[in-house]
Amino acid sequence: MTELSVDAPSDEGKRDRRMSLGEHLREARRRLIIAVIGLAAGMIIAFIITDPVIKFITLPIDMINEQRGADFAELMFTKITSGFNLRIRMALSIGLLLSAPVWLWQIWAFIMPGLTKKEIKYTVAFVGAAVPLFFTGGYVAVMVAPHVIEVMSNFVPDAGKNFLDSDYYYDFIIKFILVIGVSFVLPVFMVALNLAGVITGRAMLKGWRIAVLVAALFAAIATPAADITSMFLLGGILIVLYFAAAFVSLFFDRRKRKKRIASGLDPDQLAA
């Protein structure tokens, strides 16, 4: 009598089924649509709140007028559509920020199935550190920007008036926030390079003189030479973040060294 047997599911059957190219494209399209809907909703909300945002970013102009006269500085709209164009640009940039949780999650959910557990852990740690640092940098930029504008306005002769084009003014504020925000995230990239084995914590500490010089130059370029307080504030924060990244990298180097010793490998290979 022939014995019937049911084969147990193989290991391959237990694994997640790999998606075909068509399924990947459909998944990408679905997540792109969700991201676009989130961005559109963020833009609508941002367009509604443009008035208080404009009032907030023009506070430096009010501060200047209090010192130099009620009509010394003015925000200019030189074209018929300038006001509308400014609000659309604000809606796009602020909406992109407001909808970031939606489109960032869609990107993460699309690439996460192809990552290993270790890569997922590092990515979550990277984002968890980079996002707060970026917003901290943006906050510092918002605090420093009024002083920058105020100091630069002091170079306008008493007989002149400071007419600020709305497009240029908004570009200056946004770029200033982005530059300072990204500079705050650079230490996270340094730690990522350390985890990838590109640079060691000891090498970072050895290069502290160059790091301090670069931080000072960046702070001097990002802030007016006459605004010493803002320059030292920004430069000091960047230097502290650099040393924090170096010490965190040293901690990771020690952990990697112990693992290599436990595995019977050459621990000095880390420094190569």
Q: Is residue 107 domain-shared with residue 162, that is, in the same domain?
A: no
Q: Is residue 175 domain-shared with residue 240, that is, in the same domain?
A: yes
Q: Is residue 258 domain-shared with residue 164, that is, in the same domain?
A: yes
The per-residue pLDDT for range 31-42, each reduced to its tens digit, is 899 999 999 999
pLDDT at 6 over 70: no
Q: Is residue 264 domain-shared with residue 213, that is, in the same domain?
A: yes
Q: Is residue 99 domain-shared with residue 150, that is, in the same domain?
A: no
Q: Is residue 212 domain-shared with residue 200, that is, in the same domain?
A: yes
pLDDT score at 3? 45
The per-residue pLDDT for range 166-214, each reduced to its tens digit, is 888 888 888 888 888 888 888 888 888 887 777 888 888 888 889 889 8
**Sorting pLDDT into bands at 50, 70 and 90, what band is 45?**
very high
User: What number is the average pLDDT over the span 97-110?
Assistant: 84
Q: Are strands 162-165 and 73-76 parallel, antiparallel or unpaired?
A: parallel
Contact residues for 129 (Cβ-Cβ < 8 A; gap 6+):
188, 191
Q: How far apart are CA 87 and CA 43, in angstroms?
A: 10
Q: Is residue 203 domain-shared with residue 219, that is, in the same domain?
A: yes
The per-residue pLDDT for range 76-93, each reduced to its tens digit, is 888 889 889 999 999 998
Domain count, the chain: 2
**Residue that finishes a domain, picked among 114, 139, 160:** 114
**Residue that finishes a domain, picked among 78, 98, 114:** 114
pLDDT score at 227? 62
State whether residue 162 is helix, strand or coil: strand
- Number of C-beta neighbours around residue 35 at 10 A: 18
Indicate whether 145 belongs to any domain. yes
Q: Is residue 95 domain-shared with residue 144, that is, in the same domain?
A: no
DSSP structural state of residue 2:
P
- Residue 166: which of 264, 50, 66 has the closest Cα? 50
- Number of C-beta neighbours around residue 149 at 10 A: 25
CA atoms within 13 A on the CB side of 182: 7
**Residue that finishes a domain, picked among 63, 92, 114:** 114
Q: Is residue 180 domain-shared with residue 246, that is, in the same domain?
A: yes
The per-residue pLDDT for range 201-249, each reduced to its tens digit, is 888 888 888 988 988 888 887 776 556 777 788 888 889 888 988 898 8
Model confidence pTM above 0.75: no
Indicate whether 200 belongs to any domain. yes
Indicate whether 122 belongs to any domain. yes
Domain span including residue 26: 21-114
